[in-house]
Structure 1
Amino acid sequence: MSCRFELTVICDNHAKNELLSEHGLSFHILADGLTILFDTGGGETLLPNAMKLGIDLANCTHLVLSHGHYDHTGGIAQMLAKNTHCSVIAHPFILSERYSRHADRPVKRIGMPVSVRAVLQQLDPVRLHCSPVASFISDNIGITGFIPRTHVFEDTGGPFYLDETGQFADLIPDDQALWINTPQGLVVILGCCHSGVINTVEYIRQLNDGASVAGIIGGLHLLHASAERLEQTIIYLKKLKPQFIYAGHCTGDDVIVKLRENLRDTAVGQFFAGMQIGTE
């Protein structure tokens, strides 16, 4: 059993023509009889871009949140104001405070906006599904929940902390991905992939009896990856041989070029707001 899918990029760092760009990510996915909004961007482009793309957010059956950073959760309140019935799927840790600390800049709060957190906390519990374990939302669509970190070189991709002073590292346990079982194989949908590409894809394959992976779509968070991590990721993807990889958001433009140069058996593309990807 499998299904076809159609994915439209609503929010991304890059946009085509009349659409707006922002540091954020949001996908609209049609698959297996469901209409899914995967993340909501940073809150600036979700509504205007959805309107220009002819996407009615009120029709979504599910809102799936990949993790609790502001650039993926900023549009939640806007989405839920438009849609009063969809199920919201997240990891229980998504409401946590979080910060980034760089030596050359002030500490930055990067968690879910306070106003958005309040909306989620007040949401009807019947609609809010927070679980750390893998689950299926249809016969062919699954959510990973917590992703085991088995490859130590795949760090979270940044100086992330649970406190402003930097005493407690944030391992981003709420990072999760979605997969779709298509006729060509599994298609993996990523938010920022703070768990690492290898950890994430291998866990999804484990949950699906080692099934082949047809494609990967999302942010790979390799912008500041170490040379070792990038090399190991390329080696892994060469062996995996997915038919396609569409990367964007936090992946890094130069990294996408490097992936394209090294993965000769895979069609590597960079997505942007307004792009449509799907099975034929």
Structure 2
Amino acid sequence: MIKNIPLLEVDEVKITLIMDNTIDLFMTGNEIVHRFDSSKSPLTKDDGFSALIAEHGFSTMIQVKNGNKQATVLLDAGMSPNGILHNMNSLGIDINDIQAIIISHGHVDHTMGLPSLVEKLESHKIPLICHPDAFLGRKLIMPGGYEVNVSAPKLTASQQEKIVFINTVDPTLLGDDMILVSGEIARTTDFETGFPIHYTKHKGQWENDPAVKDDQCVIVNVRGKGLVVITGCCHSGLINTIHYAQTLTNSQKVYAVLGGFHLTGGIFEKIIPATITELQKINPTYLMPGHCTGWSAIHQIAQSMPKAFIPNNVGTTLVF
């Protein structure tokens, strides 16, 4: 197992939730949790949609600062072709500030906005970090036998010219070594056993792939605070993911964990108690579960760890 990645501590990290499943334009924040200021934007945009929209998808912008060094990366691209572009516009985000794009895993709810995003990029050769499996065919075979296509979209030749694919199973350091992409996550717990109805197409053949091996997270180490772990869907398991971040960085202190924890639905709700028990042992200062975490898990986490819990909301910026 890879250990002791030289991830630099940062003075500050800002994490802006561009897309997620939940929206409340009037949710209040505090000195750490900055909510969307609805007074500075019309509630309805020219396209007829709300200033911010939510969908069953995930995308977040991560900005880090260490002294005079700064870096900005995008993790995931949402479920719809133009949803993240709509929200970026409302949030005043300049697409061309993005220095790298990270794909947490190759499912449609994290990748469908990628072609439109890349099309808008003015700069060429932006790194796109993903697992080698991320753009393979993917599907779910539901208990009733019907199939759901969850494959990532294909990029056109002209779109591919604007990016540089970094396909790797290994960890990747970005932004002057201030941001760490985990790469393939080690599976060590006995209760996080994967997604049994998931299939991946390898060499023309569909294979059962409960592990969703391309699942990865992003890690930042805040000076004097500890690790901030940002997840897409956590198909590798939330506890596996946090433990792997600790192993990679040789740092046990976890300051914040946010993103999708994949604890929704009948397959995963049974592991909510074990997950919360292990979370309480890790004892992060902040938790913001969203996307695929599910109503039941979010509420149980809020009840079990009320001081750490932050309600999820599109347009939120966390400042650590």
TM norm. shorter chain > 0.5: yes
Aligned position for 2:199? 161
Aligned position for 2:212? 172
Distance 1:151 1:56, change over 3 A: same
**1:153 touches 1:228 (CA, 8 Å); kept in 2?**
no
1:230-249 equivalent positions in 2, closer than 5 A: 230-249=272-291
Measured after TM superposition, the shift of residue 56 of structure 1 is 1.0
SS of 1:15's equivalent in the other structure is coil
Aligned position for 2:63? 30
Q: Residue type of the partner of 2:221?
A: N
Aligned position for 2:127? 87
Q: Partners in 1 of 2:246 and 2:157 — Cα distance?
A: 31
Q: Partners in 1 of 2:143 and 2:303 — Cα distance?
A: 33
Measured after TM superposition, the shift of residue 44 of structure 1 is 3.8
Q: In the comparison of the two structures, how many residue pairs are matched?
A: 275
Q: Partners in 2 of 1:182 and 1:12 — Cα distance?
A: 24
SS of 1:268's equivalent in the other structure is coil
Measured after TM superposition, the shift of residue 106 of structure 1 is 2.4
Aligned position for 1:202? 243
1:140 aligns with 2:140: no
Measured after TM superposition, the shift of residue 158 of structure 1 is 5.5
Task: Give the one of 93, 97, 100 matched to 2:140.
Answer: 100
Q: Residue type of the partner of 1:37?
A: L
**2:226 touches 2:251 (CA, 8 Å); kept in 1?**
no
Q: Quick check: 100-109 or 70-79, which moved more? A: 100-109
1:5-154 equivalent positions in 2, closer than 5 A: 5-17=13-25, 18-32=51-65, 33-42=70-79, 43-83=81-121, 84-85=123-124, 86-104=126-144, 106-113=146-153, 117-119=154-156, 123-124=160-161, 127-137=164-174, 138-154=176-192
Task: Give the one of 257, 274, 279 matched to 2:299.
Answer: 257
**2:52 touches 2:315 (CA, 8 Å); kept in 1?**
yes
Task: Give the one of 2, 6, 25 matched to 2:9.
Answer: 2
Q: Partners in 1 of 2:157 and 2:263 — Cα distance?
A: 30
SS of 2:134's equivalent in the other structure is helix
Q: CA-to-partner distance for each residue in 1:151-172, whole Å, 9 max, x for gaps?
A: 2321334621125997523421
Q: Partners in 1 of 2:71 and 2:157 — Cα distance?
A: 22
Q: Which has the larger radius of gyration?
A: 2
**1:256 touches 1:269 (CA, 8 Å); kept in 2?**
no
Structure 1 gap ranges (5+): none
**2:262 touches 2:268 (CA, 8 Å); kept in 1?**
no
**2:195 touches 2:211 (CA, 8 Å); kept in 1?**
no
SS of 2:115's equivalent in the other structure is helix
TM-score, length basis structure 2: 0.80
Measured after TM superposition, the shift of residue 59 of structure 1 is 1.4
Q: Partners in 2 of 1:278 and 1:96 — Cα distance?
A: 35
SS of 1:95's equivalent in the other structure is coil
Distance 1:254 1:7, change over 3 A: same
Measured after TM superposition, the shift of residue 139 of structure 1 is 2.4
SS of 1:99's equivalent in the other structure is strand
**1:155 touches 1:194 (CA, 8 Å); kept in 2?**
no
Aligned position for 2:312? 271
